[in-house]
Amino acid sequence: MKTLKVVALATVVGLAGVSAIWAQGDHEDGVKTTRLLMPIMNADRGMELFASKGCATCHSVNDVGGEDASPLDAHKMDEYMNPFDHAAKMWLMAPYMIAAQEDELGEQILFTGDELSNIIAFLHDDAQQLLFTEEYLESIAGEETDG
Ligand code: HEC
């Protein structure tokens, strides 16, 4: 069976703005046979997206945000989590979430893989979540209104 190994290429990761690293098939000849890039997850960007995408309309973090759906505090979830399991949990709840989003926001929230990876990083980072305050949420909402 083929296992996936994340290979951090220093030259690639070292470049500014790079947000993904190669996932390489575990082959003896070292040839990249698996056509996958693993995102470099960023909890700080994820916090901004959690606010700007509207997740906080229904979900709270650090007691800040809506109460229509379950709180998403890192310490209330599994101690360590595979990010794909987090995505799978969202997929499981998708029918309820999309219905609620269409009801409350008028449309389904969409995101790229990169954006989702950053949101998931935020949802599993205790230290970053302490920075999620009412003032912060309002400042992001203010930016949106300002255009
Ligand atoms: C309009 C309301 C609404 C919005 C906006 C919303 N959700 Fe949800 N979400 C729900 C509902 C309803 C559920 C299913 C019931 C529950 O877990 O409370 C859910 C479930 C989840 C779950 C699974 C929780 C669990 O413990 O099983 C995750 C994770 C989640 N949402 C993340 C997000 C993220 C990330 C965003 C923003 C991109 C988002 N949600 C935006 C309503 C919403």
Q: Which tens digit of pLDDT belongs to each residue from 84-117? A: 999 999 999 999 999 999 999 999 999 999 999 9
pLDDT of 45 higher than 90: yes
- CB of 116 closer than 6 angstroms to any ligand 1 atom: no
Residues 21 and 80 in one domain: no
pLDDT of 9 higher than 50: no
Lowest mean pLDDT among 1-5, 40-44, 79-83, 116-120: 1-5
* CA 72 to centroid of ligand 1, rounded, Å: 8
Write down the pLDDT at residue 123. Answer: 98
Instruction: State the DSSP code for 74.
Output: G
- CB of 61 closer than 6 angstroms to any ligand 1 atom: no
- CB of 57 closer than 6 angstroms to any ligand 1 atom: yes
Write down the pLDDT at residue 34. Answer: 76
Q: How far apart are CA 146 and CA 28, in angstroms?
A: 55
pLDDT of 58 higher than 70: yes
Residues 137 and 77 in one domain: yes
> What is the atom index within ligand 1 of the atom nearest the CA of 50?
37
Instruction: State the DSSP code for 5.
Output: E
* CA 101 to centroid of ligand 1, rounded, Å: 9
Residues 141 and 83 in one domain: yes
* pLDDT category of residue 23 using cuts at 50, 70 and 90: confident
Alpha-carbon 99 to chain mean position: 21
Tell me whether residue 132 is exposed, middle or buried, using C-beta atoms within 10 angstroms of its C-beta: 0 to 12, 13 to 18, 19 or more. Answer: buried
* pLDDT category of residue 27 using cuts at 50, 70 and 90: low
Lowest mean pLDDT among 6-10, 18-22, 34-38: 6-10
Number of domains in the chain: 2
Residues 53 and 83 in one domain: yes
Residues 89 and 19 in one domain: no
Residues 83 and 25 in one domain: no
Residues 33 and 56 in one domain: no
Residues 49 and 17 in one domain: no
Residues 103 and 137 in one domain: yes
* CA 24 to centroid of ligand 1, rounded, Å: 32
> What is the atom index within ligand 1 of the atom nearest the CA of 101?
1
Residues 91 and 128 in one domain: yes
- Residue range(s) defining the domain that contains residue 102: 43-146
Residues 35 and 47 in one domain: no
